[in-house]
Chain A
Amino acid sequence: MQGPPSGRGPDLTDEVARRTLDARVVVRRAGFTLDATVRAVPGEIVVVVGANGAGKSTLLHAVAGLVRPDEGTVRVGDRVLTGDRVLVPPAQRRIGFLGQDPLVFPHLDVRENVAFGPRAAGVHAARARAAADEWLARVGLTGFGSRRPHELSGGQRQRVALARALAAEPDVLLLDEPFAQVDVRTASAVRELVRAQVLATGTAAVVVTHDVVDVLTMGDRVVVLHDGAVVEQGVPRDVLTDPRHAFTAALAGTNLVVGTFERPPGSGGTLVVDDGPRIPLTADVETGARVRLTFPPAAVEVVPLDDVDHTWLAHVVDVEAGVGGARLRTSGDVLVDLDAGRAAVLRPLVGDRVRLRLRPQDARVRRSD
């Protein structure tokens, strides 16, 4: 069995090189092209985040060998799994897969489920079962070995599926929205478990999700996938605090507007948003500079229509549910959060004109070159 990498000896770099996932896949479908690169080193969790239809699952399926990409290579260490005239079948890839449905084999008890991988690899039945019990202990299911799958809760089943995937000792573990079907508390516990076990076993892990919580709690790195392309990637803190793409900004729950900064002599500055409003702004950049402005929706206040001091005029495009109130989508896709009381006073309707002011201390201005 794969033990935890306790003795971090001189062969560590070899080990890292041997189990590093390096993939670029291109999959063409009618009206959609996925062209994405993903890399993960042992013990690292890379979270691929994107909206439904961004190509996340296709990416994972291509890496797992369940889909033949039109182009690209999938490599683990120096083993080429997908390439020109190479398509190693899933069973020989040493790539584990955990989907949102745990798919615990219904005809086998929990122990046999977990022992399935080792037994398929030729481990003697008794030894495989003993190993399964150890894995069950690791995922907090000691004593559950003889249970039948239908006797388990959704969270327990997901734990069994995790133990089963890890017991097969994959070099790489792929997780496809693994927490989409379990309740919040269970999801937190299983996330932590995945995190701990990925570290302990030195597995390279790729998680695809549309849930920002997965990024925050598990991600060593985040890859943002949009319309089949990687639009940004990096450490979650960097990516989420300084989003460069509208989808990332939406994920981070922040406004992102891009425009040109203008400061006529003798007056304050203005950000002329591309196809959007003119937002009064103080910034330490020269006139004509391209600027990226981020600010939380709660940093915008709705002021009386005749208040022209550092405000701008916009239209209400949409009224959505917000946290403890309403969220307005206004001209230029600027989101404005209103608490319930304020919303009740203003009663904003789609099409209304509103005057907005941005609290300067909450705005972050960066050059966008």
Chain B
Amino acid sequence: MGAPRLLVLPAALAVGLLVLPVVALVVRADWSSLPQDVSSPAAIRALTLSLTTSLSATAICLVLGVPLAVLLARARGRGADVLRALVTLPLVLPPTVGGIALLYLLGRRGLVGASLDAWFGIRLPFTTAAVVIAQVFVAMPFLVLGVEGALRTSGHRYETVAATLGAGRWTVLRRITLPIVAPGLTAATVLCFARALGEFGATALFAGNTPGVTQTMPLAIYSAFNGAGVTQGSAVALSLLLVATAAAVLLVARAWRPGRAA
């Protein structure tokens, strides 16, 4: 049984649409100035900042998102449905809107930000922490949805067996639930990291564009592309660097897959 042959046409267009832009990027790059562009202190700073903030954001998403996914997967009823919808909200929100929302919450006069400033002297906007928060905001839904889906698919039959073997809830979670959804968890983590790495809109509004502090790769690329007196060549070079980084992360995640034997 094959699929209808006519499907090849739109499928080929889809592949073209997804792959050709990246090809164009590679083809049009100025390869002679590339080594210089990607090794410039500005590029290295942006890449380092991107990687550290994205990894931090992913770690926070894991620590907070996995428990949320576990609870959501087990929850039933209207309340759980509403919660599920709320959790996915950042997914459908334009990131710029997310950035404004974060400002209104955590800004100096924000809902929580005002108190943070008054009581603890903490000002989050336009700091590296703000970059991480913006990334967490946009990336966490990918993790929660991915892990919850994996948990639902696996069901709890193995967990029931584990319980009848004398395993308490923590043991079941640690030795059965999480290992069984490990492939889904890995995929969700990669998606989450990729989303954090590519985050632009919320970061720009909530964290700003200060080199070395909040200027991540996407912001650096945007600045280079629009910037006065800067060639667009460095923007392309930075883009290629980001593409290469993302590809490397994907490859590493594919190679490391616990529970592959399932």
Q: Interface of A with B (CB < 8 Å)?
A: 64, 66, 89-97, 99, 101, 103, 105-108, 116-117, 120-121, 148-150, 164-165, 168, 170
- Chain B residue with Cβ nearest A117: B165
Residues of A within 8 A of B168 (CB): 91, 120
Stretch at the interface among B5-13, B94-102, B139-147, B153-161: B153-161
- Name the residue of chain B whose CB is nearest to the CB of A173: B164
- Please report which residues of chain B, range 208-262, place their CB below 8 angstroms from some CB of chain A when the two chains form the complex: 258-259, 261-262
Q: List 21 A-B contacts (CB under 8 A).
A: A66-B160, A90-B160, A91-B166, A91-B169, A92-B166, A94-B166, A95-B164, A103-B161, A105-B158, A105-B161, A105-B176, A107-B180, A107-B258, A107-B261, A120-B162, A120-B166, A120-B171, A149-B261, A164-B165, A165-B164, A168-B165
Q: Does the CB pair A64–B179 fall under 8 Å?
A: no
Tell me if B55 counts as interface (CB < 8 A to partner A): no
Give the docked Cα–Cα distance between A242 and B182 (Å). Answer: 55
Chain B residues, Cβ within 8 Å of A94: 166
| Nearest-CB residue, chain A, relative to B165 | A117
CA separation between A327 and B164, bound complex, in Å?
A: 44
Chain B positions within 8 Å of A, measured between CB atoms, are 157-158, 160-169, 171, 175-176, 179-180, 182, 258-259, 261-262
**Are B157 and A116 touching (Cβ within 8 A)?**
no
| Contacts A96-B165, A165-B165, A168-B166 known; 20 new A-B pairs at CB < 8 A | A64-B164, A90-B163, A90-B164, A91-B165, A96-B164, A97-B160, A97-B164, A103-B157, A105-B158, A105-B176, A107-B179, A107-B259, A116-B162, A116-B167, A116-B175, A120-B167, A120-B171, A148-B261, A150-B262, A170-B164
| B167 and A106 contact, CB distance less than 8 A | no
CB nearest neighbor in B for A150: B261
Expressed in whole angstroms, the Cα–Cα distance for A96 and B165 within the complex equals 6
Interchain nearest-CB distance for B154 vs A (Å)? 10
Nearest CB of B to A361, in Å: 50
Cα A46 to Cα B44 with chains together (Å): 72
The 8 Å CB contact of B161, one of A89, A97, A121, is A97
For the complex, what is the distance from the CA of A97 to the CA of B162, rounded to whole Å? 10
Contact of A103 among B158, B175, B182 (CB under 8 A): B158
Q: Which chain A positions have C-beta within 8 A of B158?
A: 103, 105
Q: List the B side residues contacting A148 at CB < 8 Å.
A: 261
CB proximity of B147 to chain A, nearest CB, Å: 16
What residues of chain B lie closer than 8 Å to A150, measured between beta carbons? 261-262
- Give the distance in Å from the alpha carbon of A117 to the alpha carbon of B258 in the complex: 22
Task: Report the 6 A-B pairs with minimum CB-CB distance, sorted nearest first.
Answer: A120-B167, A97-B164, A106-B262, A117-B165, A107-B259, A90-B163
Q: Chain A CB within 10 Å — which of B157, B164, B259, B261 has the most? A: B164
A93 vs B168: C-alpha distance in the bound complex, in angstroms?
Answer: 11
Q: Which residue from chain B places its CB closest to the CB of A66 in the assembled complex?
A: B160
Question: Given contacts A66-B160, A105-B158, A116-B175, is CB(A121)–CB(B166) below 8 Å?
Answer: yes
Q: Which residue of A lies closest to B154 (CB)?
A: A106
B182 touches A107 (CB 8 A): yes
Assembled-state Cα–Cα distance A159/B158 (Å): 17
CB-nearest residue of chain B relative to A161? B161
List chain A residues, Cβ under 8 A from B165: 91, 96, 116-117, 120, 164-165, 168
